[in-house]
């Protein structure tokens, strides 16, 4: 069994839970996922089955989310699961919110202390749970890119906004919430989060775990990696196929001067290759 799955991760499940479930159903140990989601979040979770786990690094890592941003409180995790650290009586008006520029372009972002980012070899959430305060950790900002932000709905009475965010890998939507609260001289935390896009894997085609009860169920909905890897492709002839499967270089027949090229034959992914002066060199042979 070989390919990607577009799995819908429900609220309350972890990415680890889903991988474990699929291992039990398929009896395949070689299963991995791209892009962890917090337990309170839901949405698209790309999963790789079998040798497709070797391809995860080549998937488009951009993401898109719809988050519910709640005003009037700040939490230590920047989301609904944290402890409230500050409350604000003043309400945000829709006019105030509309006058606030939403983040866009390349920004520097401080990750929340309750995150898996490592400081001195330890995950920050481990330090936080051990009682270490945020101001006691040398948290470095990360550069991330916000491609698009769009207000979907603002509820002035209940003090929340639903916002669409398309962003690069490593962006913390929770941190955007906390930063919005500060910009409004108020508090803000994330109460809901739905990932609607992971690379070019869309939530509209995602599969519920309840529909995957047998290995046959999984095999029927496997995605061909050829269609989801954002890389140039070269179709192999019979001679090139034999050379690649024996670890030999082949002639570069496409215009790429450097980088990675996927090699295909009869709509099957045969290998990942790298462009060299001596042609296309097999990097990962998949058969």
Domains of the chain: residue spans and CATH: 3-58+200-224 (3.30.2350.10), 63-198 (3.30.2350.10), 233-285 (2.30.130.10)
On the question of pLDDT at 164 being above 90, the answer is: yes
Backbone angles phi, psi at 154, to 5 degrees: -130, 125
Q: 15-29, 176-190, 247-261 — which is least confidently predicted?
A: 247-261
Q: Are 36 and 15 in contact (CB under 8 A)?
A: yes
CA separation for the pair 266, 261 (Å, rounded): 16
pLDDT average, residue stretch 39-45: 94
Q: Are 163 and 98 in contact (CB under 8 A)?
A: no
| Higher per-residue pLDDT: 243 or 125 | 243
CA separation for the pair 171, 158 (Å, rounded): 27
Q: What is the percent of the chain where pLDDT is above 70?
A: 91
Q: Is 38 marked active-site? A: yes
Rg (CA), the chain: 22
CA separation for the pair 155, 35 (Å, rounded): 30
Return the pLDDT at 196.
97
Q: 16-25, 134-143, 185-194 — which is least confidently predicted?
A: 134-143
- Joined tokens for residue 117: 């980012």
| Higher per-residue pLDDT: 38 or 46 | 46
pLDDT average, residue stretch 237-241: 96
CA-based nearest residue to 113, from 70, 73, 76: 76
CA-based nearest residue to 263, from 237, 255, 278: 237
On the question of pLDDT at 130 being above 70, the answer is: no
DSSP states of the chain:
--EEEEEEEPTT--HHHHHHHHHHHH--S-EEESS---TT-EEEEEEEEGGGGGGGGGS---EEEEEEEEESEEETTSBTTS-EEEE--SPPPHHHHHTSPPP-EEEEEPPPSSSS-EETTEEHHHHHHTT--GGGS-PPPEEEEEEEEEEEEEETTTTEEEEEEEE-TT--HHHHHHHHHHHTTS-EEEEEEEEEEETTEEGGG-B-GGG--SHHHHHHTPBPGGGT--S-EEE--HHHHHHHHTT--B---SS--SSEEEEEETTEEEEEEEEETTEEEEEEE--
Contacts of residue 109, Cβ cutoff 8 Å, sequence gap at least 6: 141, 142, 143, 144, 171, 172, 175, 176, 179
**Banded model confidence at residue 82, pLDDT cuts 50, 70, 90:** confident
Residue tagged active-site, from 38, 76, 89, 211 = 38
CA separation for the pair 200, 220 (Å, rounded): 20
On the question of pLDDT at 180 being above 80, the answer is: yes
- Calculate the CA dihedral of residues 20, 25, 30, 32 and round it to 10 degrees: -50
pLDDT average, residue stretch 227-239: 95
On the question of pLDDT at 236 being above 90, the answer is: yes
Return the pLDDT at 117.
61
pTM of the predicted model as reported, rounded to 2 decimal places? 0.90
pLDDT average, residue stretch 80-107: 92
Query: Whole-number mean pLDDT of the chain?
Result: 91
CA separation for the pair 60, 168 (Å, rounded): 9
Distance from the first to the final alpha carbon of the chain: 12
């Amino acid at each position: 069994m070989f390919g990607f799955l577009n799995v819908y991760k429900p609220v309350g499940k972890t990415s680890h839970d889903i991988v474990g479930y699929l291992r039990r159903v398929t009896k395949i140990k070689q299963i991995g996922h791209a892009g962890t989601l917090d337990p309170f979040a839901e949405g698209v979770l790309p999963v790789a089955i079998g040798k497709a786990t070797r391809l995860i690094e080549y998937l488009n890592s951009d993401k898109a989310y719809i988050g519910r941003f709640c005003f009037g409180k700040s939490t230590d995790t920047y989301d609904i699961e944290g402890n409230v650290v500050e409350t604000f009586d003043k309400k945000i008006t829709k006019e105030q919110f509309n006058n606030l520029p939403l983040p866009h372009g390349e920004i520097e972002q401080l990750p929340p202390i309750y995150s898996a980012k490592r400081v001195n070899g330890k995950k920050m959430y481990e330090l936080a749970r051990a009682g270490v305060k945020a101001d006691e950790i040398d948290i470095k900002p990360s550069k991330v890119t916000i491609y698009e932000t769009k207000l979907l709905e603002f509820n002035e009475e209940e003090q929340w906004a639903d916002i669409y965010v398309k962003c690069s890998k490593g962006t913390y939507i929770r941190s955007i919430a906390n930063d919005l609260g500060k910009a409004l001289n108020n508090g803000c935390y994330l109460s809901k989060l739905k990932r609607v896009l992971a690379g070019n894997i869309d939530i509209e085609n995602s599969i519920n775990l309840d529909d995957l009860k047998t290995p046959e169920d999984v095999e029927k909905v496997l995605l061909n990696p050829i269609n989801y890897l954002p890389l140039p492709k070269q179709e192999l002839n019979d001679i090139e196929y034999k050379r690649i499967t024996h670890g030999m270089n082949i002639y570069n027949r496409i215009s790429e001067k450097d980088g990675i090229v996927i090699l295909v034959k009869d709509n099957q992914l045969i290998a990942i290759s790298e462009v060299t002066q001596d042609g296309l060199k097999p990097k990962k042979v998949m058969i």
